[in-house]
Structure 1
Amino acid sequence: MGESITEGTIINWLISEGDSFEEGDILLEVATDKVDNEVPAPASGTLVKTLFQAKDVVPVGDVIAVLEVSEEQKLNSNSKLKSKTQNKLEKLRPVQKHSISKKASVSNSALNSFSISDSNSNTFFSPLIISIAKEHHISFEELARIPATGNEGRLRKSDLFQYIEDGRPYKFAQPVQQDPTAYRIPQLSFDKGKGKIIEMDRMRQMIADHMVYSKHTSPHVTAYVEADMTNMVNWRNANKKAFQEKYGERLTFTPLFVEAVAKAVKDFPNINASVDGNHIIVKEHINIGMATALPSGNLIVPVVKNADTKDLKALATNVNELAAKARDNKLGGDDIKGSTFTISNVGTFGSVMGTPIINQPEVAILALGIIKKRPEVIETESGDEIAIRSMMYLSLSFDHRVVDGFLGGSFVRRVADYFEQFDINRDI
């Protein structure tokens, strides 16, 4: 369902237990990472049992239903799946019973003896660990106390499950204050005021979780440059009508931005990366995500795949198609999957510049401000002159774990150079 997706919500079942279906029939609808997906039947058969109901949140990889299908090969495979599921359910009770007894046996002395020095030295937690922790309401502070057996002190899934099975002995443990001068988070009670209470919808909750996770994971640093967009603006204004008549596509600034960013990414491939523990994964493909506002006001990031291999016509077609799908709430799972670098055009809202939050698991995101005419000093053959130019601020937020100031600054400057050096005589 996507690189960063760890769970989905069942919207509703379209068939009931005991109902028969044909191959390709839609069995249920699932909401994952801002997109609703229809799940088709893999073969003809009957729905034997549903293991989750509508509105249930299910981790990726869990069995959600048992099907009895007509093909012999499928049936054999399904019987194994059903047996595995039943075994999993049968094991559930003794594990819970064991957890309760373990929890009851934890002594107060064990809790009181915990000190801050018992925390893990490696506090990087994988998305899978964080997902399991959220499901069991385990805080980052509690995660840091769990004994880790992974490479270089990393917490493994088996460590977390063992800790849960043992009754979470450090759940209520308080760190011993070693240094009386150390900073402590004040326990403040804020007056949040009175007014209309609006419950966050599912998408807003997912956005909130993703943003908090990104700020917690990546040390954000932002670099700023400004670019003279006059050549690009003049060329686009002069050719947008002819472009639409020739190709049947609107020529906005977005495909021009995507084209320039893809070129800069090829020049600085290490900006097109993600982090896996102590490893950096430099991506083979350049897939540019475009932060896009939905009619509801929520944000989504459709992706232009292999942007560096497409000409301006293909980019314009791709961008317009994705924008139309976003407006009509028709984006599919593939449309928002696989982004390696993201741009956010905050200028469409009138913002001069922005400080964007990195779209995990990427390592950088570029914000493009409003294009605004300003008097600027320019160099001419007759000397310096003041002229009216179309100017724009660019701001690049990058993950300082793997992107240093030189790489971040050089990359955003290169994007600005491609904007400024736009060929005013370019053919459409």
Structure 2
Amino acid sequence: MSIVELKMPKMGESISEATILNWLKKVGDPVEEDETILEVATDKVDSEVPAPCNGVLSEIRFEPNEVVEIGTVIAVIDADGEATAKTPSEKIEVAKIEAPKPKAQTAAVKSETEREFRSLNTGDNDGFLSPLVISIAKKENLSIEEVQSIQGTGEGGRIRKSDIILYLKNRKYPLPSRPQATAPKSSYNPPPIQFTEGKDRIVEMDRMRKMIADHMVYSKHTSPHVTSYIEIDVTNIVNWRNTVKNEFLEKYGEKLTYTPIFVEAVAKAIKEYPMINVSVDGDKIVVHDDINVGMATALPSGNLIVPVVRNADEKNLLGLAKNVNHLANNARNNALKPDEIGGSTFTISNVGTFGSLMGTPIINQPEVAILALGIIKKRPEVITTEKGDEIAIRSMMYLSLSFDHRVVDGFLGGSFLRKVGDELEAFDSNRKI
């Protein structure tokens, strides 16, 4: 009997685990090679996992909502069992034959290690722990007492991923074991939300919105945010794009938006100020050699995702335009692949797309800075010419840079922001495509 193990696939450079959303097949069902048999999710994207071969699904090792590390065996396929899946009774026999003893032992061990944590999930908001929190607690060898001592910021005091990560970051030593411990209560009681029956309505957050919320709270807890602003004149860029965009589309088959121009300017500025392209690991600074620029992008659902232009400094404007258009199209069609959304080292957010004059974006962890690009507006400005000062109609926009003040001070943040502005203002209006 030929047995094929199905492992949790790699989902991207920075992804170490994924959550099982749904099994599309059950034990005993026949499967075909490349047929989708389950759906999984990371904190960035949902993905489908195909069968590696033809056969019968003889074993499922993890249930929906369980968090599984990349590379872990999640199911077993009997590659010779295609014919055995003809009747329900035969399916059951296949499952029994293929369920090895180590699996039962593993389940027993797993049950024992999780029993204490799972026993808290009795329906009380103060005690409930999500599968992700339990997974992190087990991985970090946290005791029940330590987990219970963490101040939860979720509804009813529930402990979120951001809470446990913040605790681990500041943890000096394990708490001594004690018979009973309860999470400290906040002295602040938020006012009750007024709900009018028949008028107001309650909308449950979807899974992605919950993860975005956790990520935003975690970022604010982690990084002391500072935001700097400048205003720049992008008349040369606007005029040049209006002149060449039709020719660009006809020649290369690609739309020419402002985004690749912005990405190009950011990449050049990072080359001059590499300490903006870093991450913080405890008391160490990780300086990234690759310049991978993330683009905060709205999905059709209204949620947010950050596809990544990798090695942006190595691409010309045409290459950037192709890459940006490809990522934007995949985002709109919910077709982004795991390797297209992980590993960014710096992020831009074009808030001007929604008509915003400027913004104060939240840093995309584990990065240390994010640039917001405001709307481009025409207005009269005083400019200096050979004839002296004149009033002219110019296309102006605001840039705002939020940065992590732990490692980026005002000089570095301001200098980098000014460099991006200078690159955009100095754009060659006679540039050839």
Give distance in 1, aligned partners of 2:300 and 2:169: 46
> Is the Cα contact below 8 Å between 2:14 and 2:343 reproduced in 1?
no
Q: Give the counterpart of 2:274 among 264, 269, 277.
A: 269
In the other structure, the counterpart of 2:107 is: 89
In the other structure, the counterpart of 1:286 is: 291
> Is the Cα contact below 8 Å between 2:150 and 2:183 reproduced in 1?
no
- Secondary structure at the aligned position of 2:255 is classed as coil
CA drift of 1:69 comes to: 5.4
Task: State the one-letter code of the partner of 1:372.
Answer: K
Give distance in 2, aligned partners of 1:235 and 1:96: 62
Cα deviations by residue, 1:241-282 (Å, 9 ceiling, x for unpaired): 111111111111011111111111111111111111111111
- Secondary structure at the aligned position of 2:18 is classed as strand
In the other structure, the counterpart of 2:354 is: 349
CA drift of 1:45 comes to: 4.7
Q: Indicate the percent of aligned positions where both proteins have the same amino acid.
A: 59
Cα deviations by residue, 1:68-114 (Å, 9 ceiling, x for unpaired): 557xxxxxxxx9x966654332224555678899xxxxxxxxxxxxx
* 1:18-417 equivalence runs, <5 A: 18-43=28-53, 45-54=55-64, 56-61=65-70, 63-68=73-78, 85-92=103-110, 94-95=112-113, 128=136, 138=148, 140-141=150-151, 154=172, 169-172=180-183, 185-194=187-196, 195-417=200-422
> Is the Cα contact below 8 Å between 2:137 and 2:143 reproduced in 1?
no
Which 10-residue stretch deviates more, 418-427 or 331-340?
331-340
* TM-score, normalised by the number of residues in structure 2: 0.76
Give distance in 1, aligned partners of 2:61 and 2:47: 19
Give distance in 1, aligned partners of 2:264 and 2:118: 58
Give distance in 2, aligned partners of 1:294 and 1:285: 26
CA drift of 1:34 comes to: 4.4
Question: Please, what is the CA RMSD of the aligned residues?
Answer: 3.5
Task: State the one-letter code of the partner of 2:108.
Answer: E
Cα deviations by residue, 1:395-416 (Å, 9 ceiling, x for unpaired): 0001111111111111111000
> Is the Cα contact below 8 Å between 2:31 and 2:51 reproduced in 1?
yes
- Secondary structure at the aligned position of 1:38 is classed as strand
> Is the Cα contact below 8 Å between 2:149 and 2:183 reproduced in 1?
no
Give distance in 2, aligned partners of 1:385 and 1:188: 55
Cα deviations by residue, 1:23-61 (Å, 9 ceiling, x for unpaired): 54432121223422121234555422213334x242434
Cα deviations by residue, 1:340-383 (Å, 9 ceiling, x for unpaired): 11000000100000000011111110000000112211111122
* TM-score, normalised by the number of residues in structure 1: 0.77
Give distance in 1, aligned partners of 2:30 and 2:425: 62
CA drift of 1:418 comes to: 0.3
> Is the Cα contact below 8 Å between 2:169 and 2:282 reproduced in 1?
no
- Secondary structure at the aligned position of 1:64 is classed as strand
In the other structure, the counterpart of 1:423 is: 428
> Is the Cα contact below 8 Å between 1:6 and 1:131 reproduced in 2?
no
Are the structure 2 counterparts of residues 51 and 258 from structure 1 closer, same or farther at C-alpha, using a change threshold of 3 Å?
A: same
In the other structure, the counterpart of 1:120 is: none
- Secondary structure at the aligned position of 1:27 is classed as strand
- Number of aligned positions between the proteins: 373
- Secondary structure at the aligned position of 1:316 is classed as helix
Are the structure 2 counterparts of residues 327 and 52 from structure 1 closer, same or farther at C-alpha, using a change threshold of 3 Å?
A: same
> Is the Cα contact below 8 Å between 1:272 and 1:340 reproduced in 2?
yes
> Is the Cα contact below 8 Å between 1:292 and 1:299 reproduced in 2?
yes
Are the structure 2 counterparts of residues 97 and 12 from structure 1 closer, same or farther at C-alpha, using a change threshold of 3 Å?
A: closer
Give distance in 1, aligned partners of 2:396 and 2:363: 25
Give distance in 1, aligned partners of 2:47 and 2:62: 16
- Which structure 1 segments of 5+ residues have no match? 71-78, 102-124, 175-183
